[in-house]
Structure 1
Amino acid sequence: MENLIEHYNFKWLGLHLIERAALLHGEFVKIHPFVDGNGRTARLLLNFELMKAGFPPVIIKKDIRSEYYDSLDLAHTTGDYGNFIKLVTRSTEESLNLWLSVVG
């Protein structure tokens, strides 16, 4: 966990917010610090980061759940977070569009 916080505070500081939030989520899940609730906690961290910057929270919808797990597995086994960051970006855009359609 200490290493994760160091990466978050220093190594990832210059990254785009969505990329930084996705990395925080993915690396937290990889550590698996709790007996139960790691995925839920990681999604809360993801949304907390997004919401701090003014983005709406994202929802990982049931129809992309397998893509979510596959992209996380790929990231954890290869270190390539590209697909996972794209999934989070797409989910963020969908949430933002939904929120804008409600208030617009």
Structure 2
Amino acid sequence: MAQYQSIANDIRNQIIRGDYQQGDQLPIQTELATQYATSRVTIQKALDLLQIEGVIYGKKGVGTFVTEQFSLYDNAVQDYMGLTKHYAQLGTIESKLISFEVRFPR
């Protein structure tokens, strides 16, 4: 696992544990870089990953914050098991192939 992924996992776990509450501001990137003994670029990659997941959001010139809507239920990214298993209790999920064709580039 890449270092930025490990850092993202650690920050995500801190949010889940309640070390950072919804709406809380995370430390600035230079502080996080010092804390994790890495570069600010690695921290930025970790924060970008968490932002893509919807766990945090950034405000230019202000800082990075924990998303207000983030909940443990939404944290399917960490323990992702697939949609079929996730919604299995609602009934069966089936796929149907409607058409199939091969298209070659021109």
When normalised by structure 2's length, the TM-score is 0.32
Larger strand share, 1 or 2: 2
When normalised by structure 1's length, the TM-score is 0.32
Larger helix share, 1 or 2: 1
Structure of larger gyration radius:
2
